[in-house]
Amino acid sequence: MNSGRRGLVHRIALNAASPCPKARLECVGPARDVLRSIAESWGITGGALDDVLTVAYELIVNAVRHTPPGRLPVSLRLSPDGRRLMVEVHDLSRRLPRIPTGAFADDGAESGRGLLIVSALAEQWGATLTADGKIVWVRIALPIALPVPALARATHRALVVADVVRAARTRAVKPNPFSPLAD
């Protein structure tokens, strides 16, 4: 777990490297259990916990089903003010997610509703392309602000002070007229 400018952050990596899609889906249950433990340790309970786990489950299942086998990093981020939670799933596909047009009409469909559920539970969601795939992210508003430990705030202050000190120590280097690189 990290803390700092972005509040609390916890990252896990799922092993979805099996060439068999059914075997890759076996990582989803344990990931959900780990995410439940993290969210509960931060004080997320009740309906908010159910929403977080449902969103995480849908994003992870989509990533496992629709991307090549590999490692899937998953992040939970609690905002510095404790009012929002971000769920992020990184995958190896560059294909951006979309809500299927038939998802609204076909009551008998066995899949295609995951992003509808995510959209209904999220304050906002989207995807960002990366050098090696994409990050699908969801921001969930929490019903009450959670206390962000003082450690997170203290760490943030320490990082700011370190940045200021580092910037203050930066000096312009005078060119050496005797250097073979001098003009």
Q: What CATH number is attached to the domain comprising 151?
A: 3.30.565.10
Q: In this predicted model, what pLDDT tens digit does every residue of 61-104 receive, in sequence order? A: 988 888 888 888 888 888 878 889 999 999 888 999 888 776 56
Q: Is residue 174 part of a domain?
A: no
Lowest mean per-residue pLDDT among 29-43, 67-81, 104-118, 123-137 = 104-118
Cα–Cα dist 142/123, whole Å: 10
Closest to 138 measured CA to CA, from 88, 98, 65, 66: 88
Closest to 126 measured CA to CA, from 97, 156, 155: 97
Q: Is residue 132 part of a domain?
A: yes
Residue bearing tokens 């344990």: 30
Q: How confident is the model at residue 106 (pLDDT cuts 50, 70, 90)?
A: low
pLDDT value, residue 36: 92
Number of domains in the chain: 1
Two tokens, residue 60: 């992870």
Q: Is residue 57 part of a domain?
A: yes
Element (H, E) at 89: strand 84-91
Q: Is residue 179 part of a domain?
A: no
Read off the pTM: 0.73
Q: Is residue 182 part of a domain?
A: no
Residue bearing tokens 């969103």: 55
Q: Is residue 178 part of a domain?
A: no
Q: Is residue 183 part of a domain?
A: no
* Percent of the chain surpassing pLDDT 70: 72
Lowest mean per-residue pLDDT among 62-66, 71-75, 112-116, 161-165 = 161-165
Cα–Cα dist 59/68, whole Å: 15
83: containing domain: 2-169
Q: Is residue 146 part of a domain?
A: yes
Cα–Cα dist 71/89, whole Å: 11
Residue bearing tokens 């989207």: 126
pLDDT value, residue 160: 59
